[in-house]
Amino acid sequence: MKRFRQKPSSEILTETPPPVVEELAAPKTRTDTRESPIAPDDPLLEYFVNSQGFIELEKLQLASPALESLRSDGIKITMPLISQGELIGLLNLGPRLSEQDYSTDDRRLLNTLVTQAAPALRVAQLARQQQAEARQLERMEQELRVARVIQETLLPKELPQLKNGKVSAFWRPARAVSGDFYDFLEFPDGRLGIVVADVTDKGVPAALVMATTRTILRATAERLVSPGEVLKRANDLLGPNIPRNMFVTCLYMLLDQETGELVYANAGHNLPYKRTADGVVELRATGMPLGLLPGMEYEEKQAVLEEGGSLMLYSDGLIEAHNPNGEMYGFPRLKQFIVDYQEDRDELSLIDRVVEDLWQFTGDGWEQEDDVTIVLVERQKVSRDEDAAAASLEPDWQAVAEFEVASEPGTERLAMDRVGEIVSELGYSGTRLERLRTAVAEATMNAMEHGNHYQVDLPVRIGVYTSAAALMVRITDLGGGREIPEAVQPDIDAKLAGLQSPRGWGLFLIDSMVDEMRIKSDEKHHTVELIFNTEGDKL
């Protein structure tokens, strides 16, 4: 049987003729895996497509190079294999071993064989084609997974630790890879460069342009100080290096960590929102997206991020997300959300809450339309009053130990161990000692994060007290004047479904570990009292 290929994409099985065919065939009959010798314009091709059954090549009168080739190969009989009007193969036979002509019975048998072989061959072809496509798809998916990992290495591995504040970021591509990115550049003089950019389109083309843009911006920002100049230079360098019809919107900002002064320029990116005690304002500066036209100038503006203020930078994917009713998330909703957010009453940060609001808005099963990037910069209020006056102690409590720890990530472990040792030395034992340790660690973390905003020079004061029937650990920070939310059981179903941030366990854990949790606040301080009932030396 000759292998025949009418369409380059379809494979044709090369079959050894079944025994009945072999018996009929001359020794010359063989399996041939060559591509079809029939050229697309050869009249034999059309003849085969329109013929069925037994064709004796000797009787054909066609000016066909393929016909000559078949004859010279010793082929006497050809039977086209047709499936759904498409020629998918040929069953070729040489002369009979007996050198007699093919009989009527032979013809009937061969006709039956061809009728059954054609659909079987077609099924095999399709199965093979499907396997090849599945392998190809798997290869592409694997490549995309690698591309995603590579792209993630282009994003900051760690967020910068601000002297008097905090930076947080959220990045989620619509596809395996993203055209959005954010970046931070820390300069020796203490200033922080902040970049948020969005390449037109999404997926692989956008991701490739993203990598180029990031490199150019980094190289440029290290040589030039002025954000307007950085964008101007980046625009000129990027233009010849990105495809036509693609461009990059980009916001570049310098933050002076000491004074909160901001200098920024904007290449067509969404205007950042600055949140202050008086409300939310947009930071406006004009400029064309990068990569569209060479020689552009970028307006440079200045602002101040006040103590206690925050700044949100974000990409289109957030604003242009749609809910099932086709409504867009939009600027007004985001702005109002930032206005309404009360950090003092919320265990989760503004960025976590915005993401949660986005998931709630878009609903279950949202097919993310565009890459989403959000960067939040918060500048903390610096409390200059370090006199951590403890709340008044009721008379039946006896102080056992008081100490302070610095507000530094990880320090809660020290507080936990120290309190654990103090309580053990008092002679208390029991399995609830572990509960006490966990409650102290979580309460200290909350005090450092939400009360003292991880300002290293602001201490958390910790005291251990006993009474006749209880043990108390009191933890005080300098975040007075804020209200602490009630401890409620976090909704793990919503967290697992991606509808809520996975965080937000601290207060619930504390409440679950202790017999009683009391919260006290004054203008300057905030105190959590963890109370464990005792029975003799049993905790």
Calculate the CA dihedral of residues 148, 505, 306, 524 and round it to 10 degrees. Answer: -160
Q: Which among 332, 408, 351 is positioned nearest to 182, based on CA atoms?
A: 351
Sign of CA dihedral 197, 202, 203, 207: negative
- Closest approach, Cβ 439 to other proteins, in A, equals 11
Quick check: helix, strand or coil at residue 60?
coil
Question: Does 492 participate in binding other proteins (rule CB under 8 A)?
Answer: yes
Q: Which two tokens stand for residue 449?
A: 């994060």
Give the alpha-carbon dihedral of 201, 207, 211, 216, to 10 degrees. 0
Q: How many CA atoms lie within 13 A of 217 on its CB side?
A: 30
182 is written with which tokens?
Answer: 């954010």
Our finding on whether 157 is near other proteins (CB under 8 A) is yes
In the list 250, 504, 525, 528, the residue contacting other proteins (rule: CB under 8 A) is 504
Q: Which two tokens stand for residue 354?
A: 């915005």
Which residue in the set 315, 501, 527, 534 belongs to the binding site for other proteins (CB under 8 A)? 501
Residue 310 CB, nearest approach to other proteins (Å): 20
> Could you say whether residue 149 binds other proteins (CB under 8 A)?
yes
Q: Which is nearer to other proteins, 287 or 504 (CB)?
A: 504
Sign of CA dihedral 29, 31, 32, 38: positive
In the complex with other proteins, which residue's Cβ is closer, 59 or 157? 157
Dihedral class, residue 372 (left if φ above 0, else alpha if ψ from -120 to 50, else beta): beta
At 339, list the tokens.
């206005």
203 makes contact with other proteins (CB under 8 A): no
Q: What distance in Å separates the CA atoms of residue 477 and residue 162, rounded to the nearest whole number?
A: 20
Residue 157 vs 384, nearer CB to other proteins: 157
Smallest separation (angstroms) from other proteins to the CB of 505: 4
CA atoms within 13 A on the CB side of 216: 25
Binding status of residue 438 toward other proteins by CB under 8 A: yes
Taking contact as CB under 8 A, which single stretch among the options 50-58, 129-137, 278-286, 436-444 is the one that binds other proteins?
A: 436-444
- Name the 3-class secondary structure at 111: helix
Supply the minimum distance, in Å, between the C-beta of residue 430 and other proteins: 12
| Chain residues 470-489 in contact with other proteins, contact rule CB under 8 A | 489
168 is a site residue for other proteins (CB under 8 A): no
Residue 442 makes contact with other proteins by CB under 8 A: yes
Which residue lies nearer to other proteins by CB, 47 or 508? 508
- The residue among 280 and 447 lying less far from other proteins, judged by its C-beta, is 447
* Crossing angle between the packed helical segments 350-362 and 330-340, to the nearest 10 degrees: 140
54 lies in the binding site for other proteins (CB under 8 A): no
Pair 455, 379: CB distance under 8 Å: no
Which of the 8 DSSP states describes residue 7? S
Does 441 bind other proteins (CB under 8 A)? Our answer is yes
Q: Is 495 in the site for other proteins (CB under 8 A)?
A: yes
Helix (H) or strand (E) holding 475: strand 470-477
Range 396-435, binding other proteins (CB under 8 A): 409-410, 412-413, 417, 431, 434-435
Number of residues that bind other proteins (CB under 8 A): 31
Q: Please, how many CA atoms are within 13 Å of residue 409, restricted to the half-sphere of its CB?
A: 3
Q: How far is the CB of 489 from other proteins (least distance, A)?
A: 8
Q: How far is the CB of 161 from other proteins (least distance, A)?
A: 12
- For 7-46, b/e burial (b = at least 16 CB within 10 A) is eeeebbbebebeeebeebbeeebeeeeeebbbeeebbbbe
Q: How far is the CB of 476 from other proteins (least distance, A)?
A: 20
Judged by CB under 8 A, the stretch of 25-33, 98-106, 181-189, 497-505 that binds other proteins is: 497-505
Minimum distance from residue 87 beta carbon to other proteins (Å): 41
Judged by CB under 8 A, does residue 496 bind other proteins?
yes
Which parts of this chain interact with other proteins (CB under 8 A)? 149, 157-158, 409-410, 412-413, 417, 431, 434-435, 438, 441-442, 445, 489-490, 492, 495-498, 501-506, 508-509, 512
